[in-house]
Amino acid sequence: MGCSTILAAAVPGFFLSSLFVMLLWGAIAPDFGIEKIDYPMAMLVTITLWIAVAPLAAASSRTKWWKG
């Protein structure tokens, strides 16, 4: 699978993930007494999570600790 194919698949996923973050944040924000976020802030939260989780996912895919 080429880099352009992976990128083409990741871009729509990013925008959809941002939409879900915005909607879910808006649903739980009143329960915690925090303000809702708009779509650009949801994009920032999403890219921050992706940057934090991607190295962990790559590292876990290289280890075989769960296979015994």
Asked if residue 26 belongs to a domain, the reply is yes
Asked if residue 9 belongs to a domain, the reply is no
Looking at the structure of the chain, the number of domains it has is: 1
First-to-final CA distance of the chain: 29
Tokens of 58: 């790559």
Asked if residue 39 belongs to a domain, the reply is yes
For 19, 28, 63, 64, the CA distances from 47, given in Å and listed in that order, are 12, 20, 25, 28
Asked if residue 21 belongs to a domain, the reply is yes
Asked if residue 66 belongs to a domain, the reply is no
Asked if residue 8 belongs to a domain, the reply is no
Asked if residue 46 belongs to a domain, the reply is yes
Per-residue pLDDT of the chain (68 residues; tens, 9 = 90+): 667 787 787 888 899 999 999 999 999 999 999 999 999 999 999 999 989 988 887 787 776 665 55
